[in-house]
Amino acid sequence: MRTDLAEKLLGRALEKGASHAEVYGKWTRRLQVEAKEGDAEAVESSVSMGYSLRVIREGRPGFSYSTDPEEAGTVAERAIESSRWSEPDEFLALPQPAVPATPEIYDPAIEGIKQEEALEKALLIESAAMNDPRVKRLRKTTAGFAVSETSIYNTNGMGLLYKATTCTAHTMAVAEEGGDSQMGWDFKAGRFLRDISFGDVGQTARERAVGMLGARRITARKSPLIISAPVAVEFLGIFASLLSSDAVQKGKSLLKGRLGEIVISDRLSIVDDGLMPGKSGSRPVDDEGVPVMRKYLIKDGALKGFMYNTYTAKKDNTSSTGNASRAGFFSTPGIGPTNIYIEARSVQKDLVGALGEGLFIMEAMGMHMANPISGDFSIGVSGLWVEGGKAAFPVKEAVISGNILGLFGGISAAGDDLEFYGNTGSPSLLTGPVDIGA
C-alpha cells in the first residue's frame, strides 16, 4: 500500500474528528494449479488488493474499507459516520510503534514461480499418490503459491510494511479393493518452496488410503489410544479457542480463573511462536502492528497466560501478546494464534510399541461439531487396531467422546513426529484408556 494513500486516509480521519486512526492494507498475488491425469485440470491466477480505515472518535469505534485507492475520501467519511452509531468503549486503543524481529518468511522462488513449474509441482503430488494400482482416483490435487504485502499505519506514528510468501500442497486419494473404498489425504504449507516435499504429500495420502483398505468395525470397549499428529492438530485447534482472552473475558472458556493451575498433562506445553523460520503463521507483527513473540501459553501442564490483542489487553490491564488477527482487510482485529503447537517434555520413538494394544486414530470425522465453549466432543474416528505393539488391522466407524481438558489431561506420552498443518502443530499423543463406541 502506498504511504501517501495511508497518510491521506489518516489525515482525513483526523480532520473529520477522529482522535485515533489506523490504516490496514493487503495486496496478494496467487497462483494455484490443479493436476489431473498428467495435465492441468485448472489454473487460477489472481491479484487482490484492499485497505481499511479504523477510527476512534469520541471514544466510539468506526470502520470502513475499499478495494479502490480513489475512494479514500469516501472511506474516511464512512468510517466516521459508522462511529456515530456505535457505543462508547473505554478500552478502545491503538498500539504504539515498536521495533519487531524479522523472521524468515519471504522466498523469491515462490514469488517468481511460473505456471509450468507450478504444474510440475502439482504433478509430483499426483504421480506419488497414484503409485499404487489400488489408488483409483484423486480429489483436488493442488499446488498453491502466493506472495503478499501487508501494511499498517496509525496516528501513533506506526508505519510498517512487510512481504511474505506462502506455498501449499494438497491431495486426497481414493483407494479401492474387493468392493471396499477408502480415502486418505495430506496437506503441507510453509513460507519456502524448499520446505515442501510435493512428492511426500502424494505418498502420504496414498499410504493413508491404502492402509485403511479392509477396515472393519470393532465392538465397544475401553482402550488406550494414540492420536495421530494430524488429528491431534485438530484437537489443538479447538483447545486454542479456550486460550483466547476474548473468550475468557466473555465467560466462554473453561480456563477462566485458572491461571497458574495444572490444566492438562504435565508432560505437555503449548507454545505460540510467531518467529519460527518458514512457518505459515510467522510474521514480524500481528494485524495491529504489535511485534509477535514466542511464549508459553501452557508450561508443563500449568496455564501461564492467554492470547491478547490491544483491546482485550487493555481490558485486563496488561500488554498485547501480538495475537491480533484479521480475516482480511475487510475485518477489524480479533484474536488468533501465530504458530501454535504442542511441545512435549520428552518424546518416545516407538509410540505404537508403548500402546501395546489399542486404537491408533488416523482420522476424525465431525470435529467441527465439538463444543469450543464446554469442551465436549463426540466424534467418529478411524485408524489401526494395534496388538502386541504392531498394527493388526484397520478400523472404521468407531466413536470417541469426552471433554477436551480430560483428553489433554490424560496424555501419558508423545511421539517424536511433530508435524505442522498450516500454523498448528503437534506430535502423536498417547492417552487413555477411553471409551470407544461402536
Identify the domain containing residue 375 by its residue range: 215-438
How far lies 274's CA from each of 106, 178, 224, 322, 435, in Å?
14, 47, 34, 9, 37
Alpha carbons within 13 A on the beta-carbon side of 299: 8
Residue 373 has pLDDT above 90, yes or no: no
Percent of the chain scoring above 90 in pLDDT: 93
What is the per-residue pLDDT across 166-190, written as a single tens digit (0 to 9) for each?
A: 999 999 999 999 999 999 999 999 9
Residue 390 has pLDDT above 80, yes or no: yes
The winner for highest mean pLDDT among 178-182, 222-226, 312-316 is 312-316
Let me know whether 179 and 322 are in one domain. Answer: no
The mean pLDDT value for 249-261 works out to: 96
Is 134 within 8 Å of 171 (Cβ atoms)?
no
Of 160, 192, 211, which closes a domain? 211
The mean pLDDT value for 28-45 works out to: 95
Let me know whether 240 and 289 are in one domain. Answer: yes
Let me know whether 85 and 180 are in one domain. Answer: yes
182: domain CATH number is 3.30.2290.10
Is 315 within 8 Å of 308 (Cβ atoms)?
no
Residue 357 has pLDDT above 80, yes or no: yes
- Dist. CA 243–CA 259, nearest whole Å: 11
**Which pLDDT value is given to residue 371?**
85
Is 341 within 8 Å of 420 (Cβ atoms)?
yes
- Mean pLDDT value across the chain: 95
Residue 434 has pLDDT above 90, yes or no: no
Q: How many of the other CB atoms lie within 10 Å of CB of 7?
A: 13
**Which pLDDT value is given to residue 182?**
96
Cis upstream peptide for 69 (omega within 30°): no
**Which pLDDT value is given to residue 405?**
93
Using pLDDT thresholds of 50, 70 and 90, give the confidence band for residue 138: very high
Residue 97 has pLDDT above 90, yes or no: yes
Instruction: Please name which of 180, 169, 179, 170 lies closest in space to residue 209, comparing C-alpha atoms.
Output: 180
For the chain, the distance separating the N- and C-terminal CA atoms, rounded to the nearest angstrom, is 56
Rounded-to-10 torsion of CA 110, 115, 120, 122: 80
Let me know whether 353 and 232 are in one domain. Answer: yes
Let me know whether 157 and 255 are in one domain. Answer: no
Is 386 within 8 Å of 357 (Cβ atoms)?
yes
Residue 438 has pLDDT above 80, yes or no: no
Let me know whether 188 and 223 are in one domain. Answer: no
Let me know whether 203 and 269 are in one domain. Answer: no
Is 285 within 8 Å of 322 (Cβ atoms)?
yes
Let me know whether 164 and 222 are in one domain. Answer: no
Let me know whether 120 and 228 are in one domain. Answer: no
DSSP 324: E
Let me know whether 276 and 393 are in one domain. Answer: yes
H helix or E strand, kind and range, residue 407? helix 404-409
**Which pLDDT value is given to residue 271?**
98
Of 178, 211, 244, which closes a domain? 211
**Which pLDDT value is given to residue 2?**
77
Q: Which residues contact 297 (CB under 8 A, 6 or more apart)?
A: 243, 270, 271, 272, 303, 304, 305, 306, 307, 340
pTM for the predicted model, two decimal places: 0.95
The mean pLDDT value for 381-400 works out to: 94
Q: At 373, give phi and psi (nearest 5°).
A: -90, -50
**Which pLDDT value is given to residue 370?**
84
Structural domain count of the chain: 2
Instruction: Give the dihedral sign, CA 128/129/130/135.
Output: positive
What is the per-residue pLDDT across 181-221, written as a single tens digit (0 to 9) for each?
A: 999 999 999 999 999 999 999 999 999 999 999 999 999 99
- Dist. CA 360–CA 19, nearest whole Å: 57
Of 164, 192, 211, which closes a domain? 211
Let me know whether 66 and 171 are in one domain. Answer: yes
Least confident among 180-189, 270-279, 366-375, 418-427: 366-375
Let me know whether 226 and 344 are in one domain. Answer: yes
The mean pLDDT value for 356-380 works out to: 90
Alpha carbons within 13 A on the beta-carbon side of 50: 11
**Which pLDDT value is given to residue 369?**
83
Residue 112 has pLDDT above 80, yes or no: yes
